[in-house]
Structure 1
Amino acid sequence: MRKLRSLKTPHGIQRLLNDMPYHLADSAWSPRRVLRENTSHCYEGALFAAAALRVNGFPPLLLDLEAEHDTDHVIAVYRVDGCWGSVAKSNYTGCRYREPVYRTLRELALSYFEVYFNLRGERTLRTFSRPVDMKRFDHLDWMTSEDPVWFVAEYLLTISHTRLISRAQAKRLHRLDGRSFRAGCLERAEK
């Protein structure tokens, strides 16, 4: 885990995730395996970021962003001077890092709203979870396991989420314009 310690800051962790290719495999690698393979997707990137944050003095916290007609997005969250930021891996350009300037987790989650869309151009973000302290999974070796770590994803499905927009608001949403869609899909990995 010396490599994780060398990243030093949340932004340093994000730089490594940005340099790492995005993969589309149906996998659940631990942070150790992500380091070895030098690739990850959203879920694995969040686990990796939480582990890296931990070895650099931050609590290892994950937040689940839940979508409708789309896949969920998992991010690692951290606080500096009472404000929230996040580190994340995404196949979409706008769903990655956030500076620690958000006073609440709701503000942080809403910062992803405009850039969280599916391939039909629909804005799909609907709810967010409370932060999950990854220490609860230490007995399962989530940071170093050679086995898939699906147990974290399964846990995220069981916890309560807070709604960001009402059902009525969701019905009134417009699709993204073409330019915003193309910008959000820059360098997107495809099958």
Structure 2
Amino acid sequence: MSESELRFFETLTTPTRIQTFLDEIPYSTEHLYRCPLRVLRERVAHCFDGALFAAATLEHLGHVPMILEMVPNGRDDDHLLTLYKRNGHWGAVAKSNYVGLRFREPVYRNLRELVMSYFEQFYNVDREKTLRSYSLPLNLKVFDKWNWMTGDESLEQIAQRLDRIRKIPLLTQSMVSKLSVVDERTYQTGLIGADLAGLYKPSMKKK
């Protein structure tokens, strides 16, 4: 990390400032992963890149570098949250193409509460509410020996570990069958500032 990069990194002193940085850089539509150092240098990120960047920065501030995967019904992208805790309550930092899938204040008593705060905003371009489960948290400290903060080599391993980690279901099939579609106002609000090229295009399959 160069001296100027370090100076900028040192300005990211709160979860809110980390979120502001992620909000200000473009959403990546590329099918590749960037380590936190590349995000800092290239000033572009998608959900995965942003989650790792936030985790690295939060660890620098004394937090455990933990991420959590929110899993849809097969007709949407997964979404990653970077977790942090204050006074026993959970909050999150996140990079997203959707307005409603980003920052959460640390006011949630448990992870299910935190994840469910995203439910109404977690929808696809067909206006389906798609969130179905979430993973147990993944502590990125286990990847330190592979230098995940400064190199891209271990990022695929992190993605694969997230795929294997246990998932907690959120809805019953009865609940799913009765879900309403997202209304026009909510749909359009969620897409303010979105890069349309980065939106998931669902297949015909529903779950």
Name the TM-score class by shorter chain.
Answer: over 0.9
| CA deviation string 1:80-99 (max 9, x = no partner) | 00000000000000000000
| CA deviation string 1:84-138 (max 9, x = no partner) | 0000000000000000000000000000000000000000001011111100111
Alignment of 1:28-67 (within 5 A): 28-67=33-72
- 5+ long unaligned stretches in structure 2: 198-207
Alignment of 1:117-132 (within 5 A): 117-132=123-138
Q: Indicate conservation of the 8 Å contact 1:33/1:144, yes or no.
A: yes
TM-score (norm 2): 0.90
- 5+ long unaligned stretches in structure 1: none
State the distance in 1 between where 2:126 and 2:196 align: 15
State the distance in 1 between where 2:9 and 2:134 align: 27
Report the AA paired with residue 120 of structure 1.
Answer: D
Who wins on radius of gyration, i.e. which is larger?
A: 2
State the distance in 2 between where 1:139 and 1:148 align: 9
State the distance in 1 between where 2:9 and 2:139 align: 18
Match in the other structure for 2:156? 150
| CA deviation string 1:4-23 (max 9, x = no partner) | 33201111100100111111
Provide the alpha-carbon RMSD of the alignment: 1.1
Match in the other structure for 1:185? 191
Match in the other structure for 1:75? 81
Percent identical among aligned pairs is: 41
| CA deviation string 1:149-177 (max 9, x = no partner) | 11111110001110111121011101101
> Aligned pair count?
191
Are 1:90 and 2:114 an aligned pair? Answer: no
Q: How far did residue 47 of structure 1 move?
A: 0.5
Range moving further from structure 2, 143-152 or 178-187: 143-152
Match in the other structure for 2:23? 18
TM-score (norm 1): 0.97
